[in-house]
Amino acid sequence: MAWLCAGATAAASASEPLFLDLQQQGATTSRTLTAHLLPAQADLGRPISLFVAALLPGGAWVVLSPAGWLPLGAEPPAWQHAQPAAFSHSVALVDAADVGGLLGTRVFAGYGHATGTVAAAWAEMLAAGRYREIGTLRAAPTLGLNAPASAPACPADAGAPLFGTAPIDPVDFIAMRPLGFQSNPIHVFPAKHGAFSMTPLGATPQARPVRAPARASVREMIQVRIASGGGNYQVFMHPCREVRLYFGHLATVSTRLQAAFDAGTPRCSAISGELTTCRRDDLDLALDEGEVFGHGPDTAGVDFGLVDARRPAAGFIYPEHYDAYYPFWQAPLDYFNSAVRAALAAKTGSVLGALRRTAEPLGGSHAVDLAGTAQGNWFVPGRYWIDSGGDSAGLLALGSDYVDPAQPLLAHGGAVSGLAAGLMAYTPRDSGAVNRRFADISGGGTFCLEGFLGGRSPGEMPLSAPSGALMLKLLNPVALRVEWVPGSDCSVLAGWAFSTKAAVFVR
């Protein structure tokens, strides 16, 4: 059993299949596991035998059969034998089960050409190296806001205003950016926080006061130092236990905050010898509403974000692929009293202030996944947000402009062969298979995008305008095939057939 050893994985090549990573849904006590397998294109329609095995924490191996999981024997059963290979195969591994005692289990999958017996298909799979490790069973993320003991309980009504003071005076910022803005390389996915845009293009940042929007307790601070000089701060505070505020890109913090930070021992780590980050998450420093706790920005603007544990999680297809906070970020605009909200809403829009957002929700949204379509966030298999911390290289986002949702936008970090990372826009059509909106890309057909626009998006973010065509095909509800054909357009692509250069992304 050559593949059933610690660390066994098959190196993918252009001729081999891509087995999608383990999809995990639900709490640890009620977990559903599904594997999605995409055979090699050359094998489509050919009889294959599918195999799934798991290495349990205690070292025992089990294999999936039509009757369920069985101990691994000399001749492993196939989950499915001598069936034609389709574009994708979904394998239900566990349904709403308590997996608390199985955390750490490693799951493997593969297939062999079914020219005879199951044993022959197994041997052919091993010889061809047509298998790989597809994932590890892990605990579901848990939301722990780390609120200080002094923070009061939040109002039961999540719609009740919490804030009465603008963190930055409207005269001191150009625009309040809603959630959902995108900018490579940091924000390939729609940003989960808003920001106060404060520095015109080409200008030197001018630090302005940043105030507590309500009485709050500072719980966490991060200080970033740059070896070549300079740095910035992030501050996290709680107006009440279930709500956590984030401010980023502060140039300085108040003397009182700096003294509290320096009074303890922060946890520090160096990044490539250039950046050093130091964190304290054990503070409990009360701020009065309107108290200046820092000045910003250090560069273009001051980040402003909010997590609210009282509200339902945002509708991501697989929230387990993100950190526990991610689905609970909310638009801060909705938490101000009517007077302050009106003043901020009047400046909510594009980064340079040219266009206001008028679509609801006015404060924007970072959750754009639309089940059964191409719209939303996509990952290179195995490089999920919870594992990579948002490493942009493996991300693809198919959505719309954060100021004008009628404008489709595509952002990617470089995982599409031949296509440089960037933000791309096109003129959408309402029919056919060319330049459709991402919400219209569904089913098993191939779609094509072309005529990418230059300049800036409605939200005033710089666009790349590469010459070529992009083909997309939704293989199943959680898998998307993408290929870039440089120097071409949709009308001349013969049959819109994918080559071995195509990439596959998963939810």
Q: Is residue 361 part of a domain?
A: no
Domain identity same for 335 and 268:
yes
Q: Is residue 144 part of a domain?
A: no
Q: What ranges in 346-430 are assigned the alpha helix state H?
A: 385-388
Share of the chain above pLDDT 90, in %: 77
The rounded distance, in Å, linking the Cα atoms of 287 and 235 is 12
- Residue 18: the pLDDT is 60
Q: Is residue 303 part of a domain?
A: yes
Domain identity same for 199 and 317:
yes
**Please, which residues have CB within 8 angstroms of residue 360's CB and are 6 or more apart in sequence?**
none
Q: Is residue 6 part of a domain?
A: no
Average pLDDT over the chain, rounded to whole?
91
Give backbone dihedrals phi and psi of 410, rounded to 5 degrees, phi first: -120, 130
Q: Minimum mean pLDDT among 148-152, 181-185, 288-292, 367-371: which range? A: 181-185
Grade residue 49 by pLDDT with cuts at 50, 70 and 90: very high
Domain identity same for 207 and 328:
yes
Element (H, E) at 211: strand 208-211
Q: Is residue 370 part of a domain?
A: no
Grade residue 19 by pLDDT with cuts at 50, 70 and 90: low
Q: Is residue 175 part of a domain?
A: yes
Report pLDDT digits (tens) over 276-330. Answer: 999 999 999 999 999 999 999 999 999 999 999 999 999 999 888 899 999 999 9
Model confidence at 349: pLDDT above 70: yes
Picking from 136, 152, 183, the residue at the C-terminal end of a domain is: 136
- Residue 451: the pLDDT is 97
Domain identity same for 390 and 479:
yes
- Residue 57: the pLDDT is 95
- Residue 41: the pLDDT is 78
Check whether the bond before 57 is cis (ω within 30° of 0): no
Domain identity same for 216 and 333:
yes
- Residue 297: the pLDDT is 97
Picking from 111, 136, 161, the residue at the C-terminal end of a domain is: 136
Picking from 89, 116, 136, the residue at the C-terminal end of a domain is: 136
- CATH code assigned at 77: 2.60.40
Domain identity same for 475 and 412:
yes
Domain identity same for 174 and 255:
yes
Model confidence at 391: pLDDT above 80: no
Grade residue 22 by pLDDT with cuts at 50, 70 and 90: confident
The rounded distance, in Å, linking the Cα atoms of 74 and 92 is 24
Report pLDDT digits (tens) over 223-263. Answer: 999 888 889 999 999 999 999 999 999 999 999 999 999 99
Model confidence at 2: pLDDT above 50: no
The rounded distance, in Å, linking the Cα atoms of 354 and 49 is 58
Pairing of strands 216-226, 208-211: unpaired
Grade residue 375 by pLDDT with cuts at 50, 70 and 90: very high
The rounded distance, in Å, linking the Cα atoms of 468 and 288 is 55
The rounded distance, in Å, linking the Cα atoms of 285 and 95 is 46
Q: Is residue 221 part of a domain?
A: yes
- Residue 17: the pLDDT is 53
- Residue 296: the pLDDT is 97
Model confidence at 154: pLDDT above 90: yes
Domain identity same for 401 and 498:
yes
- Residue 185: the pLDDT is 83
- Residue 24: the pLDDT is 85
Per the structure, the complete domain to which residue 192 belongs is given by 170-345
Q: Which two tokens stand for residue 82?
A: 């001598």
Domain identity same for 491 and 384:
yes
Task: Quote the Cα angle for 398-400-405, to 5°.
Answer: 155
Average pLDDT, integer, range 357-361:
97
- Residue 7: the pLDDT is 37
How far is the CA of 503 from the CAs of 38, 419, 431, in angstroms?
Answer: 12, 11, 26
- CATH code assigned at 335: 2.70.70.10
Domain identity same for 40 and 176:
no
Domain identity same for 174 and 305:
yes
Domain identity same for 177 and 260:
yes
Q: Is residue 462 part of a domain?
A: yes
- The count of domains in the chain is 3
Check whether the bond before 205 is cis (ω within 30° of 0): no
Model confidence at 388: pLDDT above 90: no
Give which of 313, 325, 4 is closest to 146, Cα–Cα.
325
